């Protein structure tokens, strides 16, 4: 079992996300994270999928994606050769006895406080999924009220762009 | 010229070379039916008794010709009644274009009368589907649907057209029929590697499926078999791709396949799999399947490679083009040892052949064979009769065996036979059972109305035989809900529909009934009485391996319950 991340360019059509996720569901692919956004072209959307499985699972997922007519191109993103990050908002309880520890941890991770009230502190953190996991783990010493994560987005390093992958 | 959406649909179908469509009208497709009225000299519409029959008819039309079959239905129940037919086509890679009406765009999503999300429902059983949102996109959407349906691995495509799109008017410019996407051979590097492995094999076995028919690679297949001195087997979907009496052909594989064919595959050291997908009904227990063999797999659908069995050499590409390149790299083999093994297996199979006297299932199918012309399409339903037909029918032309393989749809045969007969303008045969026939026999009305020439061989054993067979073998003869004991008089039933019928209880009666049926001017039902405890053999138990093959059954004493 290894983790892998795949970027998919799809036609920006009504219901396209449903087509992709419906295929994942019926073929029982286990998806860890999935993000969708518009791209440099209004005709295209970009889906970033991260999943874990065997090499054969990964190939099957890619091959099944290729069969969807709305899919334009697919690329597996090597985590070393690409820039990958995720955004998280995390809201913790604001209490006098823990406030300083929370602030120290936030500072160490570079988390920015985006909302501060008498009872809560909301922080924004961008980084790799692992960094976000580590920060959440630290915050478990305090009282986490809510977490919202975007799932990962990823682009290749250098000038290369996503294009039709050969299989 | 300016046309309304409904006219554009019909004109685009005509433009794409469609001569016949199957369907059923209704409120949200009524405008399209108005256009069909207008263009009735250019395109024929066959009104079935039920939308399911129409979908299966479009499927049978497509299987018999290779062209996309077209089915039209209204919204709501009209659309949902297509679902089994679309799924059947999807699982067997049959090109089909389904057009459904829907409520006007402004009412979509409000649970209007007869509104259903048919694109949502058919998402997992179509190659693609569309809701047309603008009349300007309508003609091109239909063209794209045809291109998708017939390209690569064929399959069904659905187009949902809201009523306001059917009435809206726009400019229509006729186009040429669309062409399938160009075929591509597999990558040279992979072909070279596969050729090396094949050249080293001592016991090669060629195993093909429905892809052989779609790719038209028969000539290359024959050359491959000669070059490798190899036997050939096929999946259910491959039947009729090559003549049954081809000297190297061992017949169908799998759960109820020919003994020699399944055994040869089991003993092979190299399986060359062509346009076939290693379904569980073929492999049985995958862990024990062909454990001694290297699998060389060519398929046009990359997702079939390494999906259920892992191949030593997997190649995505068109069969014909890939085989042509592969053949250039293969040395001539002479494998007398392997041939001897195969001859031994054939001898064993002949020894176990069911040669009992009287009206046995095999004798019934062999009698039917006498009346088949090379151009006669034979459809089946699903169950024991289907396997008996698959085992013993003789074919000499391709696209003549029309059977629901992947989905295993009971009730498929009646519509499919009508579709094939209509497409080929030939008398078609339906081999069915009392269970499957009971599901869609309403289409007899359609066959009579349109005078579609059909011979229906109804193998009546009074039970749901295939399930009963499992109950006998694996469920202690607890015949739960498989004993039909219906009082249907099929001869009278045929006559009530305006068809003709004869009942046969002996082989002689069957022979004369079939003779009459093939001469009949109206659809003809031959009811052939089969014992309820006839088995389909051999049988590879579900999840079993070739070591578990059942070739004989002694059902012993009374029922257990």
Chain B residues inside the 8 Å CB shell of A14: 131, 133
Q: What is the CATH number of domain B188-351?
A: 3.40.50.1220
What is the C-alpha separation between B93 and B153, in angstroms, rounded? 6
Interhelix angle B361-371/B507-519, rounded to 10 degrees, is 30
Chain A residues inside the 8 Å CB shell of B310: 56
**Closest to B306 (Cβ–Cβ): which among A26, A56, A68?**
A56
CB contact under 8 A, A23 and B316: no
Answer whether B29's CB lies under 8 Å from B100's CB. yes
**Regarding the domain with residue range B361-536, which homologous superfamily does it belong to in the CATH classification?**
Thiamin diphosphate (ThDP)-binding fold, Pyr/PP domains (3.40.50.970)
Is B2-171 assigned to CATH 3.40.50.10780?
Answer: no
Q: What share of chain B is helix, strand, coil (3-state, %, to 5)?
A: 40, 15, 40
Per-residue pLDDT band at B557 (split at 50, 70, 90)? low
pLDDT of residue B558 exceeding 90, the answer is no
Residues 62-81 in A contacting B (C-alpha not used; CB under 8 Å): 63-64, 66-70
Cα B96 to its chain centre, rounded Å, is 13
pLDDT in tens, B443-502: 999 999 999 999 999 999 999 999 999 999 999 999 999 999 899 999 999 999 999 999
Task: Write down all domains in chain A, each with its CATH number in brackets.
Answer: 2-77 (3.30.70.260), 83-153 (3.30.70.1150)
What is the C-alpha separation between B415 and B147, in angstroms, rounded? 24
Provide the terminal-to-terminal Cα distance of chain A, rounded to the nearest Å.
21
Per-residue pLDDT band at B18 (split at 50, 70, 90)? very high
What mean pLDDT do residues B402-408 have?
Answer: 97
Per-residue pLDDT band at B546 (split at 50, 70, 90)? confident
Residue B427 main-chain phi, psi, to 5 deg: -65, 130
What mean pLDDT do residues B30-58 have?
Answer: 98
- What's the pLDDT score for residue A160? 86
Mean of pLDDT over chain B: 96
Query: A82: which residues sit within 8 A by CB, 6+ positions away?
Result: A5, A154, A155, A156, A157
Per-residue pLDDT band at B285 (split at 50, 70, 90)? confident
- What's the pLDDT score for residue B552? 84
pLDDT of residue A166 exceeding 50, the answer is no
Identical fold between B2-171 and B188-351: yes
What is the C-alpha separation between B547 and B501, in angstroms, rounded? 44
Chain A residues inside the 8 Å CB shell of B131: 14
Neighbours of B263 (CB within 10 A): 23
- What's the pLDDT score for residue B75? 98
Pairs of residues, one from chain A and one from chain B, whose beta carbons lie less than 8 Å apart: 33
Per-residue pLDDT band at B292 (split at 50, 70, 90)? confident
- What's the pLDDT score for residue B554? 77
Answer whether B89's CB lies under 8 Å from B71's CB. no
Higher-pLDDT residue of B556 and B84 is B84
- What's the pLDDT score for residue B485? 85
Report CA-CA distances (Å) from B405 to B214, B274, B281: 15, 17, 10
- What's the pLDDT score for residue B432? 98
What is the rounded radius of gyration, in angstroms, for the C-alpha atoms of chain A?
19
Residue corresponding to tokens 């765009």: B105
| Omega before B538 within 30 of 0, i.e. cis | yes
Percent with pLDDT over 90 in chain B: 92
Query: B368: which residues sit within 8 A by CB, 6+ positions away?
Result: B393, B429, B431, B457, B514
pLDDT of residue B556 exceeding 70, the answer is no
pLDDT in tens, A89-141: 999 999 999 999 999 999 999 999 999 999 999 999 999 999 999 999 999 99
CB contact under 8 A, B127 and A67: yes
Question: Which H or E element spans position B431?
Answer: strand B428-433
- What's the pLDDT score for residue B288? 82
- What's the pLDDT score for residue B286? 83
Query: B378: which residues sit within 8 A by CB, 6+ positions away?
Result: B372, B389, B393, B395, B400, B401, B402, B428, B429, B430, B431
B163 in active site? yes
pLDDT of residue A165 exceeding 60, the answer is no
Percent with pLDDT over 70 in chain B: 99
Is A40 in a helix, a strand, or coil?
coil
What mean pLDDT do residues B325-333 have?
Answer: 98
- What's the pLDDT score for residue B553? 83
* Bridge-based pairing state of the strands A44-53 and A2-11: antiparallel
What is the C-alpha separation between B118 and B26, in angstroms, rounded? 15
Choosing among A10, A15, A17, A28, which should be mutated to test the B contact, i.e. which has the most B CBs within 10 A? A15
What six digits make up the tokens of A42? 């209004």
B559 in active site? no
Per-residue pLDDT band at B542 (split at 50, 70, 90)? confident
Answer whether B205's CB lies under 8 Å from B265's CB. yes
pLDDT of residue B560 exceeding 50, the answer is no
- Say yes or no: A56 contacts chain B, CB-CB below 8 A: yes
Neighbours of B153 (CB within 10 A): 19
- What's the pLDDT score for residue A1? 82
CB contact under 8 A, A67 and B133: no
- What's the pLDDT score for residue B46? 98
| Domain range annotation of chain B | 2-171, 188-351, 361-536
Question: Which H or E element spans position B14?
Answer: helix B5-15
């Amino acid at each position: 079992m290894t983790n892998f991340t795949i970027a998919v360019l799809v036609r920006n059509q009504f219901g396209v996300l449903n087509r992709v996720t419906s295929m994942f569901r019926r073929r029982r692919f286990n998806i860890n994270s999935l993000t969708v956004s518009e791209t440099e072209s209004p005709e295209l959307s970009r889906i970033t999928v991260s999943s874990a499985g065997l090499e054969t699972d990964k190939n099957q997922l890619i091959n099944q994606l290729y069969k969807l007519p709305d899919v334009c191109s697919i690329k597996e993103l090597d985590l070393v050769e690409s820039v990958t990050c995720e955004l998280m908002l995390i809201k913790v309880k604001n209490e006098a006895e823990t406030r300083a520890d929370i602030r120290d941890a936030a500072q160490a991770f570079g988390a920015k406080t985006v909302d501060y009230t008498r009872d809560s502190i909301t922080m924004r953190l961008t980084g790799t999924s692992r960094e976000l996991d580590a920060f959440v783990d630290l915050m478990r010493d305090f009282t986490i009220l809510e977490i919202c994560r975007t799932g990962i987005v990823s682009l290749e390093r250098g000038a290369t762009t996503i294009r039709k992958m050969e299989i | 010229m300016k046309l309304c959406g409904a006219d554009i649909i019909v004109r685009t179908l005509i433009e794409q070379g469609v001569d016949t469509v199957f369907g059923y009208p209704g409120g949200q497709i009524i405008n399209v039916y108005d256009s069909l009225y207008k263009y009735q000299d250019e395109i024929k519409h066959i009104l079935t008794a039920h939308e399911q029959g129409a979908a299966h008819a479009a499927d049978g039309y497509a299987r018999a010709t290779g062209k996309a079959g077209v089915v039209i239905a209204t919204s709501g129940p009209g659309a949902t009644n297509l679902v089994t037919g679309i799924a059947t086509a999807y699982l067997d890679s049959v090109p089909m274009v389904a057009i459904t009406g829907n409520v006007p765009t402004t009412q979509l999503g409000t649970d209007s009368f007869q509104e259903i999300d048919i694109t949502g429902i058919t998402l997992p059983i179509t190659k693609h589907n569309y809701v047309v949102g603008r009349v300007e996109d309508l003609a091109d959407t239909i063209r794209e649907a045809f291109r998708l349906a017939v390209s690569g691995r064929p399959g069904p495509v659905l187009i949902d057209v809201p009523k306001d799109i059917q009435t809206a008017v726009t400019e229509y410019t006729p186009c040429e029929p669309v062409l399938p996407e160009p075929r591509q051979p597999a990558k040279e590097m992979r072909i070279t590697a596969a050729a090396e492995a094949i050249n080293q094999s001592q016991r090669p076995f060629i195993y093909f499926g429905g892809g052989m028919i779609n790719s038209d690679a028969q000539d290359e297949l024959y050359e491959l078999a000669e070059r490798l001195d190899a036997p050939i087997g096929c999946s259910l979907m491959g039947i009729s791709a090559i003549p049954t009496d081809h000297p190297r052909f061992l017949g169908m594989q799998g759960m109820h396949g020919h003994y020699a064919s399944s055994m040869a595959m089991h003993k092979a050291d190299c399986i060359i799999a062509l346009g076939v997908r290693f379904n569980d009904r073929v492999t049985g227990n995958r862990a024990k399947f062909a454990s001694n063999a290297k699998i060389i797999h060519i398929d046009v659908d990359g997702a079939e490679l390494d999906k259920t069995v892992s191949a030593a050499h997997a190649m995505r590409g068109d069969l014909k083009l890939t085989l042509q390149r592969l053949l250039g790299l293969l040395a001539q083999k002479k494998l007398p040892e392997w041939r001897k093994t195969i001859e031994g297996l054939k001898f064993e199979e002949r020894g176990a052949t069911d040669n009992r006297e009287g009206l046995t299932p095999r004798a019934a199918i062999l009698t039917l064979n006498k009346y088949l012309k090379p151009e006669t399409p034979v459809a089946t339903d699903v169950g024991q009769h289907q396997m008996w037909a698959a085992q013993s029918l003789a074919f000499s032309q391709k696209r003549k065996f029309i059977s629901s393989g992947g989905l295993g749809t009971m009730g498929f045969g009646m519509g499919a036979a009508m579709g094939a007969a209509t497409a080929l303008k030939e008398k078609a045969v339906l081999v069915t059972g009392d269970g499957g026939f009971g599901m869609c026999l309403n289409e007899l009305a359609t066959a009579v109305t349109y005078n579609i020439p059909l011979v229906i061989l109804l193998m009546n054993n009074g039970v749901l035989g295939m399930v009963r067979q499992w109950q006998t073998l694996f469920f202690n003869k607890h015949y739960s809900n498989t004993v039909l004991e219906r009082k249907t008089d099929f001869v009278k039933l045929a006559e009530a529909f305006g068809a003709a019928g004869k009942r046969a209880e002996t082989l002689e009666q069957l022979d004369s009934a079939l003779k009459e049926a093939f001469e009949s001017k109206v659809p003809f039902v031959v009811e052939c009485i089969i014992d309820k405890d006839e088995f389909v053999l051999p049988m590879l138990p579900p999840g079993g391996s070739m070591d578990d093959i059942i070739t004989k059954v002694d059902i012993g004493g009374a029922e257990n319950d």
